A and B are shown apart, each in its own frame.
Chain A
Amino acid sequence: MVKINKLFIENSFAFVLLALFIIVPLAVGENADIHNIIIYILIYALVGEGWNLISGFTGQTSFGHAAYFGIGAYTVAVMGNKYDVVPWVGMLAGMLIAAALAFLINYQLFRLKGHYFAIATLAVSEILRTIFSVWPYVGGGDGIKILFRPENKALWLAIDVRNRLPFLYITLALFVAVFVLCKMLENSKMGYYWKAIRESHEVAEAIGINPQNYKVYAMMLSAAIAAVGGGLYVQFFKYIDSYVFSLDVSMIFVLVTVLGGIGNVYGPIIGSIIYYVLDLAMRRLLGGTASGLNLIIFGILIIVVVVYQPKGIMGIFDDIVNRRRLRKLKASQATTNASSNQTGGDSK
């Protein structure tokens, strides 16, 4: 009982968020626009969590996560359309293919450091983009439109366009699973090793970590998570073409995570919420009259947030928490100082 209480208190923020994600879709009624937005928020946050593993925790910036996102999407679409495979199986297959690809490519690429690595990830997704735009098996330049066969209705999760709630909750469940996984990983040996590698390659080696291996583990997990996002995306959007491998798509994952707070499990979801709520607000406010004006204001807002708090929205939260903690610390130090002085106080 005590343990459960502790779980709730320590993660109260997460539970409040979860409650919101459960209640809001019901509260807004049959509002397709809001439901769409929430689904987007969840999908991009989910992929953001994956990106965060390799780029936030492990410190290896990827500008090419669209590659794994796209692989996940294409796998579900191709397997479903051509072989009537259930999306669940398709997503599983997509995860495995993405992880395998991540292993094959990155085992070599991790010899590169910093920006050189980042550009290499971009190169990989651009190469995939070209391949998928000319490969007839996956629809080439026309892309793939997801087929609906009445006799095979159970195939797709998001069947009814007007009522997206079941799909929304499935997406939510998958996001929660990924979130919990990432949080557990952060507090495991893996998470500590990733962060050690991020902070110093040399220290990592000196304390017995094989950086190459742990970076590859991070990338494989990250790719598999991105593939899940891709699988969800294609079921929701019902169409896919090679644009899904573009830098624009990769950058969405980077953006939502960095905006929310890089290296923080809450970062992607907070960033994604802010991103899409602002986006929606802009569109509502300005209507369709001045297309692009919303994006201009949106761009300015991003700049303002970043300039105000370079660590993103979670950085702003941290500031508030830290200020409170500092005050507490000062109060407690005043009392302990007296005793530590007597014992010689070996720390300064």
Chain B
Amino acid sequence: MLAQVIVNGILTGFVYSLVAVGLTLTWGVMDIINFAHGDFLLWGMYTAFGLWSVFSVDPIFSLPVTIVLIFLLGYLTYVLIIRRVLNASGLTALLATFGFSMVLKNIAQLVFTANYKNVTNTIFGGDTIKLGSIYIRHDYLAAAIGSLILSLLVLLFINKTKTGVAIKATSINRSTAQLMGINTDGIFAFTFGLSGACVGAAASLMVPFTPITPSSTALYSILAFVIVALGGFGNIKGALLAGLLVGVVESVGGYLLGTSFKYAVIFMMYLIVMQIRPKGLFGW
């Protein structure tokens, strides 16, 4: 039974990782806490739902669409809002993203109402694989693998491509990066887009097993905050591993102490870990 619980935790953890990787990009690189991150996820899920219910597109095929659309949403968020508050104190930008979060959430509510929406009969469906005594649902597995691949792609992109290195350079020192000829404004816009793309992908992957309502992603953004801090701000590898850790701790904690405690266990773990490593598990 415990093995089953751990496997479930790992599968959820990979999805958490992808959401957190998206958040750590903006938080780490630009030092901006994007309160609308969860609402990006929400809009990704509604996009996938819309495509499924209107055009019968399976979420796995709408993945590219949600990636592109939420990339654009992130990009526009930067261009229209964040750029203008970039030089103000961190809390000012936070206020702006909070306002934007209200806008996104309530438009969603206006359009889709507060009723739960479900995407059903997807390709990966509710079937399971049996490995010994462990059952693994196809859609969970697909989401986990998809999330892992995409997280690794982002990691590779940041470390191996020219744009990626420019993002890194900008995160370390904005003005120096500027002097090196990096268009930091463009980098920031792209980073925000990339952050959106991550949650857009996560949205399509989650939608087969996550009922959608305007408030259903709030918890994801709180967990993403914790994961990002746990992994060290701006540390993609850190976010990936911390996401996995949080998934497992949540699952095992819920199993041992009862489901009402599963999130409390995560927060407790955060407080304890930070006493030992005040800059996150993998922070620099």
Contact = CB atoms under 8 A, between A and B. Distances in A.
A109 B27 CA distance: 21
Contacts of B123: none
Contact of B96 (A119, A291, A307): A307
Contacts of B95: 254-255, 258-259, 302, 306
A264 interface: no
Given A116-B280, A123-B226, A303 B271 contact: no
A122 B88 CA distance: 23
Interface in B251-284: 260-261, 263-264, 267-268, 270-271, 274-275, 278-280
B229 A258 contact: no
Contact of B109 (A108, A126, A134, A292): A292
Contacts of B99: 298-303, 306
B86 to A, nearest CB: 10
B278 A111 contact: yes
A116 B91 contact: no
Given A116-B278, A299-B101, A310 B270 contact: no
Interface in A121-177: 122-124, 126-127, 130-131, 133-134
Contacts of B87: 310
B140 interface: no
Contact of B225 (A108, A113, A122, A306): A122
A255 B33 CA distance: 14
A122 B279 CA distance: 16
Nearest to B227: A119
B124 interface: no
A235 interface: no
A293 B110 contact: yes
Given A112-B278, A116-B278, A130-B261, A258 B92 contact: yes
B222 interface: yes
Nearest to A126: B267
A219 to B, nearest CB: 15
Contacts of B94: 254, 258
Interface in B66-82: 81
B229 A255 contact: no
B278 to A, nearest CB: 5
Given A299-B99, A302-B99, A306-B96, A126 B263 contact: yes
A119 B229 contact: yes
A116 B279 contact: yes
A65 interface: no
B89 interface: yes
A119 B88 CA distance: 21
Interface string A83-123: 00000000000000000000000001101110110011011
Contacts of A204: none
A134 B260 contact: yes
A290 interface: yes
Contacts of A14: none
B270 A123 contact: yes
A22 interface: no
Contact of B229 (A61, A115, A131, A299): A115
B85 A306 contact: yes
Interface string A267-292: 00000000000000000000000111
A307 B84 CA distance: 6
Contacts of B103: 295-296, 299-300, 303
B188 interface: no
Nearest to A292: B106
Contact of A127 (B88, B100, B102, B268): B268
A78 interface: no
B209 interface: no
B89 A307 contact: no
Given A123-B267, A296-B102, A302 B96 contact: yes
Contact of A120 (B96, B101, B105, B270): B270
Nearest to B264: A130
Contacts of A312: 92
A251 interface: yes
A11 B84 CA distance: 33
28 contacts: A61-B90, A115-B27, A115-B233, A116-B233, A119-B229, A120-B270, A123-B271, A131-B264, A134-B260, A247-B218, A254-B94, A258-B95, A292-B106, A293-B110, A295-B102, A295-B106, A296-B106, A296-B110, A298-B99, A299-B99, A300-B99, A302-B95, A302-B96, A302-B98, A303-B96, A310-B88, A310-B89, A311-B92
Given A116-B278, A296-B106, A310-B85, 19 more contacts: A55-B91, A61-B90, A111-B278, A115-B27, A116-B229, A123-B226, A124-B267, A126-B264, A130-B260, A130-B261, A258-B92, A290-B110, A292-B107, A295-B102, A295-B103, A296-B102, A299-B103, A303-B96, A306-B88
